[in-house]
Structure 1
Amino acid sequence: MKRKMSVFCLVFLMAVAIIGPDLTWAEDPKEIKIGATIALSGRFKGIVGTFKTLGNEWAGLINERGGIYVKEYGKKLPIKFEIYDDASKPENARKYYEKMATDPSISFFMGPFSSFISNAATTVAGKHKIPMQMVCANDAVLFEKPNYWRVGVLVPAEDEWERLVPIYKKKGGVKTFATITMDTLHNKGAIKGFEEDLKKNGFEVVYSVVAPPPTKNFAPMIIKLRKAKPDVVCIEALSPAFTIGFLKQMREAGYKPKEIIVGHVTKHVIDALGPYAENITGLAYYYDGDTQDHKDFLEILRRSGFTWGEYMESGIRFWAYTRIKQAIEKAGTLDRKKIMDTLWNMKTKIMGLDSFVTPEGYGALGAWPCQVQGGKFVSIWPLDKAVKLHNYR
Structure 2
Amino acid sequence: MSEASHPAGQFTELEHLASAADRLREIRHHIHHHPELAYEEVATAALVADKLEQWGWQVTRGVGRTGVVGTLKVGDGARSIGIRADMDALPIVEQTGLPYASGTHGKMHACGHDGHTTMLLGAAEHLAQTRRFSGTVHLYFQPAEESGIDSGAKKMIEDGLFERFPCDAVFGVHNHPGAEPGVFLFRKGPFMSAGDKAIITIEGVGGHAARPQLTVDPVVVAASIVMALQTIVSRNVDPSQPAVVTVGSMHAGTANNVISSTARLELSVRSFSPEIRALLKKRIVELAESQAQSYGAKALVEYIEGYPVVVNSDAETEFAIEVARELVGDDKVVAQTGILMGSEDFAFMLQQRPGTFLRIGNGVGEDACMVHNPHYDFNDRNLTVGAAYWTRLVERYLGQ
Q: Same fold (TM over 0.5)?
A: no
Q: Which has the higher contact order (CA 8 A, sep 6+)?
A: 2
More helix by share: 1
TM-score normalised over the length of structure 1: 0.29
More strand by share: 2
